Amino acid sequence: MTAFKLVVVTAGLSKPSSTRLLADRLTESTVRQLAGAGRQVDVKVVELRDLATEIANNFVTGFAGAALREAVEAVTEADGLIAVTPIFTASYSGLFKSFFDVIDHDALTGKPVLIAATGGTPRHSLALEHAVRPLFGYLRAVVLPTAVYAATEDWGAAGSELTDGLPRRIDRAAGELAALLSGRGPAAPALPEQVVPFAEQLAALRA
């Protein structure tokens, strides 16, 4: 059985970062739930902090470096995407936005995307709905209903009967992604383009 290609884009700037930690938790839950359904997953993590210079150079020169081209190709060919950004000034980070500006606007059409974010305070949680979700909606991706926001105080919190704890929200969002991927199946590998010589095309028309 062909394995799903899951690409995880994380825009954390520090190392280690809570953004990468949230991305890893979402990935682990998605892989676990797909494995429970008998599905295999190939995971590729794209750390945008490692591509910051290439992303900036691409805007200035119009040419992408080898590492950036590889990351863009991975996102374009993915069956599903997990995208996690830190929230700065009530919106996604500039690095996060710049990476998706580099990608062709049609590359994410119809692609399932799980969106998530981290921040120092719960006040920024709505940035997922007023900034991140519209971004992927504009790119015509299929954005999953559950978006996961993790404030500093969410780490280690078990939640209560009235509110969902972070682990529960992670599992719910990952379950939505796993269910959508399972229903679609992995994308078929691209077939090499067949070029018919002009003489053959002309002969077919005359016939």
**Domain of residue 130, CATH code:** 3.40.50.360
| Count: domains in the chain | 1
69-113 confidence digits (pLDDT tens): 999 999 999 999 999 999 998 899 999 999 999 999 999 999 999
Give, in order, the Cα–Cα distances in Å from 176 to each of 39, 99, 134, 159.
Answer: 15, 25, 19, 20
Q: Give me the domain span that covers residue 173.
A: 4-206
Give the per-residue pLDDT at 15: 85
Q: Among 2, 1, 38, 8, which residue's Cα sits nearest to residue 174?
A: 8
pTM of the model: 0.84
How far apart CA 133 and CA 148 sit, in angstroms, is 11
Give the per-residue pLDDT at 188: 45
Assess contact for 24 and 9: CB atoms under 8 A. Answer: no
